[in-house]
Structure 1
Amino acid sequence: MAPTLVLPDPIERAILEAARASAPRECCGILGGEFAPGASRVRSHYPARNVADEPRTRYRIDPEEQLSIFERLESRDEEIVGFYHSHPRGPPGPSATDAEAAAWPDRSYVIVSLEGSGGDDNAVVRSWRWRDASGEGGQFERERLERP
């Protein structure tokens, strides 16, 4: 059975707004809540600064900001559920660059594509779990999004 990420509508809308506001650069951030390898629930999101050398095609969360967010999550008794970023000019699936940078096994990686699949609002939101059982490289597994 595919893993599941419960993503409340207000948080999904906030991530979509951040993606649109950041374009043509990728936005990024951290998701907090209840983590489980098979099903996680997002309770909060923390936008972060993208400090990648090529922010139009890559993302990198500022390391100091990431540490600060992790400390805030801990103080709120939340776990790291995963991360999110946008693909302003690409598909809603992980790129080779995303796979190279993935470092949190079993965590969710939410990707917002602003190109989508047509219509007035072309944005598409998808989620993936990083699976790395061997420790020698892994792969993304498509995750079911549940929107309560």
Structure 2
Amino acid sequence: MPTLRIPESVREEILARAREGAPEEVCGILAGTRESSPRDTDDDHADHRVESHYPAANVAETPRTRYEIDPREQLDLMECIEETGRDVVGFYHSHPRGPAEPSATDAELATWPGRSYLVVSLGADPPEVTSWRWSGDEFAREDLRVVGEE
């Protein structure tokens, strides 16, 4: 099972942003490294290590029930990430009232195979954070490990 490692501080920043943005969904990009072993043939099985996150504006027509990153802003953020020598390892968004799993709409709109999709649910007490890997066809749960600062 692939793993997403995220520093506790980054997880807490994303949780705080989700709380501040409620009742609307918040979103952004996860930057770090994709770590593959010699047996890995694609990003579907590579472990991802988050080093930072890049918040993005949610420009969806219905931001309480879905998220959308403006394509121009997404490109700018991705270029910024690449300039730092990091990779885009995935994306994150919140579900202010829903579960910590991708919705049917999330699956319809997912476009980055091999990337992690972190979902924050504020509907749980305490809030729940899960990570999923998009294969191009479906989401599969991946191991989420919160790590100390390195």
Equivalence for 1:24: 23
Give the unaligned 5+ runs of structure 1. 133-137
Matches within 5 A, 1:1-148: 2-36=1-35, 37=43, 38-116=46-124, 118=125, 122-132=126-136, 138-148=137-147
Distance 1:34 1:57 in 2: 30
Paired with 1:81 and 1:89, the residues of 2 have a C-alpha distance of: 26
* TM-score under structure 1 length normalisation: 0.91
What RMSD, in angstroms, separates the aligned Cα atoms of the two structures?
0.8
Identity of aligned residues (%): 54
Q: CA deviation at 1:65?
A: 1.1
Cα distance in 1 for residues equivalent to 2:132 and 2:68: 18
1:104 and 1:64 map into 2 onto residues whose CA distance is 16
Mapped partners of 1:107, 1:32: distance in 2: 11
Query: Structure 2 regions of 5+ residues with no counterpart?
Result: 36-42
Normalised to the residue count of structure 2, the TM-score between the two structures is 0.90
**CA apart distance, 1:147:** 1.3
Q: Distance in 2 between matches of 1:146 and 1:89?
A: 24
Number of corresponding residues:
138
Equivalent residue of 1:7, what SS?
A: strand
| Greater RCO, CA 8 A, separation 6+ | 2
Stretches of 4+ aligned residues off by more than 6 angstroms: none
